[in-house]
Structure 1
Amino acid sequence: MATEDGDVDMAAVGELLADRARCRMLLALADGRALPASVLASEAGVAPSTASGHLGRLTERGLTEVVATGRYRYYRLAGPEVARLVEVLGRIAPARPVRSLREGTRAHALRLARRCYDHLAGRLGVAVTDALRERGWIDGSDGTDGTPDPTERRSHQLPGYVSEDGAYHLTDAGRAGLADLGVTVPAGLHAVRCCVDWTEQRHHVSGPLGVALLARFDEDGWLRSVPGHRAVKVTDDGVAGLADRLGVGWPPPSVDLRGARR
């Protein structure tokens, strides 16, 4: 007998995310890399056989996918929607306690600059977004600067609401300025997508413009990936280029919920 589909089963995904090892694997893949099961096992702190079981469940539920290269198999997030899910969960999840100098150094690096699937995040991602806004290259239609007000409530939203998609649009000055910077802006791009950064709780540019900016920074040698890590390092050329071309100092300041730099 045929049955109609009911409402979405969020508990099925919640069950997957309730396991810390699986969550660590998703976090390791959140910068868009494709990694072998052995590396993901190390990231999760589990045996390779256990990692294979976890990856099988994540792939079956559509959170990860397999990329086969010859006889080797690599795993990556199934798409930008999954990366966004990981980032949103990071905004509401409590921070894990830091128990060693190594963990503290790693956590600090993540907060400074990291890849969020296909765009730049962390303090650097927020600082670049601020620079685009301050130059009038992107403009918020509602006048927002991307800083949540913890006392503000909009409709059914919780206090501290920050809009995401479509919060900004690309201006004519922005199109010209980005072209001068060597950024390939997709033809017909007007709306600028943003993510709310899980460490800074402020906007960083995502979507097609975020992809184009990160590609330009990579091509210019401004950034260097950290092996086995989502964090990125800013090179000497990057420090000079960010300051000269965008007025972004290194390290960029953190900005609190009231917009005060610290």
Structure 2
Amino acid sequence: MHKPQDDTENNSELEYSMASLAAALADASRVKILCALMDGRAWTATELATVADISASTASAHLARLLQNNLISCLSQGRHRYYRLTGSDVAKLLEQLMGLSGISHPSPIVRTPVSLRKARTCYDHLAGEVAVRLYDSLVKKGWLQADGTALTETGRDHFSRLGIALGDESKRKACCACLDWSERRYHVGGSVGAALLLHCQQKGWLTRTPGYREVAVTPSGKLALRTLFDVITD
């Protein structure tokens, strides 16, 4: 007869896994690599070594550690290998850690560049001041549930009318309130947040700088955000 696994053993395995994950994050170079991957793109080891200001061999060791802890995944195309975050859950964890690091001091000094505070990517969705205002507006309009966990029926109807195509929600969380590390408030994450960002890019309302997280709101984007979502951008 199979003997049930002892709860103590299960707890020990969980604690070990948590400690291993924390240790993988406890290195400045590895954190730089992960933050670079927050733009949602796949990067080469050479590119990540450059952004982390480390040698190629050191970057290789760090990438192996991050792969071991399932924080990143590796994609192969021909002779090239590319690295990216494992998924939106990892991006959300990093965003929350950024927030915690910013409030760990009694009077935090905001050193975030203005361009990043205004609008940036958080993996595959929009973050920053504009995204927080958008979240608040969607809740106020009754399109998004107050806790940010789902669109309302009214919200789904309006998204459909606007032509915002929602992704396959069976593969990831449909919607979530993602804590914005620079604003200390929520922006929209999950497949809804990804669909919003993609739609705004396709419409030319937002433009991204290749290789960076900054997002710029175009003149037509300012008009659309104001008329469609009641979001005023400076």
TM (norm. structure 2) is 0.83
Note closer, same or farther for the CA distance 1:89–1:187 as it changes in structure 2 (3 Å cut). closer
- Look up the SS of the partner of 1:250 in the other structure: coil
Unmatched tracts of structure 1, length 5 or more: 96-103, 141-165, 252-262
1:90 and 2:98 matched: yes
- 1:59 is matched with 67
Unmatched tracts of structure 2, length 5 or more: 104-110
1:183 and 2:167 matched: no
**Displacement of 1:240:** 2.0
* CA distance in structure 2 between the partners assigned to 1:199 and 1:231 by the alignment: 13
* CA distance in structure 1 between the partners assigned to 2:96 and 2:137 by the alignment: 24
- Structure 2 residue identity aligned to 1:14: A
* CA distance in structure 2 between the partners assigned to 1:18 and 1:192 by the alignment: 29
1:118 and 2:124 matched: yes
TM (norm. structure 1) is 0.74
- 2:23 is matched with 15
- 1:214 is matched with 197
Note closer, same or farther for the CA distance 1:81–1:139 as it changes in structure 2 (3 Å cut). closer
- Structure 1 residue identity aligned to 2:59: A
Note closer, same or farther for the CA distance 1:38–1:132 as it changes in structure 2 (3 Å cut). same
Of Structure 1 and Structure 2, the greater helix share is in 2
2:224 to 226, 238, 241: 241
- 2:54 is matched with 46
* CA distance in structure 2 between the partners assigned to 1:239 and 1:39 by the alignment: 33
- Structure 1 residue identity aligned to 2:38: A
* CA distance in structure 1 between the partners assigned to 2:121 and 2:20 by the alignment: 28
14-23 or 172-181, which moves further after superposition? 172-181
Note closer, same or farther for the CA distance 1:117–1:137 as it changes in structure 2 (3 Å cut). same
- Structure 2 residue identity aligned to 1:108: V
- Structure 2 residue identity aligned to 1:220: K
130-139 or 70-79, which moves further after superposition? 130-139
**Displacement of 1:79:** 1.6
Equivalent residues in 2 for 1:187-198 (5 A)? Answer: 192-198=175-181
* CA distance in structure 1 between the partners assigned to 2:216 and 2:45 by the alignment: 25
Cα contact 2:67–2:73 (8 A) shared by 1 = yes
Among all aligned residue pairs of Structure 1 and Structure 2, give the percentage whose two residues are the same amino acid.
40
- Structure 1 residue identity aligned to 2:156: R
- Look up the SS of the partner of 2:155 in the other structure: helix
